[in-house]
Chains A and B, each alone.
Chain A
Amino acid sequence: EVQLVESGGGLVQPGGSLRLSCAASGFTFSSYWMTWVRQPPGKGLEWVANINQDGTEKYFVDSVKGRFTISRDNAKDSLYLQMNSLRAEDTAVYYCARVDDYIWGTFDSWGQGTLVTVSS
């Protein structure tokens, strides 16, 4: 069974940093693109970033470019999101998800999410 478990969320002040982690199990992690999607409280879903299998190809939504970094450690079956210069509008539940390798661009497995709150 595919499992994705996010961690690392919490309360951070504006301008601060936070590193999210996603532990993957139940599939060959190194064979899949992975993604981060976020959801502000009571609102809809927003794609944040993607990374390819070996970490050499990455994409970001414009609002986080230059502030967020996505990375992975295939030896640890783990995905990361380093978030710097955090703003109030980054407050959201952050989900990691697997990119379907057959219907590329869809997200076929999701974690339960971790809440990031940016507030003074």
Chain B
Amino acid sequence: EIVMTQSPATLSVSPGERATLSCRASQSVSSNLAWYQQKPGQGPRLLIYGASTRATGIPARFSGSGFGTEFTLTISSLQSEDFAAYYCQQYNKWPPWTFGQGTKVEIK
């Protein structure tokens, strides 16, 4: 099983600032890495797939990068609606499909 590790667990950021979230895989997942956003009381929403491709309708302020075992999600200028939890997920080797434990982005 591929273990996904996210850091930090919580990120405190002011509106308008940049947020950088990290995700590490226990073995290479190539570029088969997705990011999801989850707001309280809602199901997750797909943000990024293929490590760097934005899903339909996702604003350009969200960007993903990385390959192999190290990945980053960057939110260039945080808007009020971006304060949420973010999860990475690998789909390179399955089953199981595995998620990181999440990073909560909160208002500073």
What is the interface of chain A, defined by CB distance below 8 A to chain B? 4, 35, 43-47, 50, 59-62, 95, 97, 100, 103-108, 110-113
Interface string of B30-49 (1 = CB under 8 A from A): 00101010100111111001
Residue of B nearest to A47 (CB): B97
- Nearest CB in chain A: distance from B21 CB, A: 14
Interchain CB contact (< 8 A) of B44 among A43, A50, A59, A107: A107
Q: Which residues of A contact B102 (CB under 8 A)?
A: 44-45
Taking a contact as CB atoms under 8 Å apart, the answer to whether A59 and B94 are in contact is yes
Most-contacted residue by chain B among A60, A107, A113 (CB, 10 A) = A107
A61 with B91, Cβ < 8 A, contacts A44-B102, A97-B43 known: no
Taking a contact as CB atoms under 8 Å apart, the answer to whether A62 and B96 are in contact is yes
Residue of A nearest to B33 (CB): A106
- Nearest CB in chain B: distance from A57 CB, A: 11
Residue of B nearest to A96 (CB): B43
Taking a contact as CB atoms under 8 Å apart, the answer to whether B44 and A60 are in contact is no
Q: A45-B87, A107-B34 are in contact. List 4 more A-B contacts (CB 8 A).
A: A62-B96, A103-B50, A105-B92, A110-B44
Residue of A nearest to B38 (CB): A45
Taking a contact as CB atoms under 8 Å apart, the answer to whether B46 and A108 are in contact is yes
- Nearest CB in chain B: distance from A82 CB, A: 19
In the complex, the 3 A-B pairs of residues with the closest C-beta atoms, listed nearest first: A105-B91, A110-B43, A59-B95
Taking a contact as CB atoms under 8 Å apart, the answer to whether A105 and B46 are in contact is no
Residue of A nearest to B48 (CB): A106
Q: Which residues of B contact A60 (CB under 8 A)?
A: 95
Residue B7 is within 8 A (CB to CB) of chain A in the complex: no
Residue of B nearest to A58 (CB): B95
Residue B99 is within 8 A (CB to CB) of chain A in the complex: yes
Q: How far is the CA of A61 from the CA of B98 in the complex (A)?
A: 10
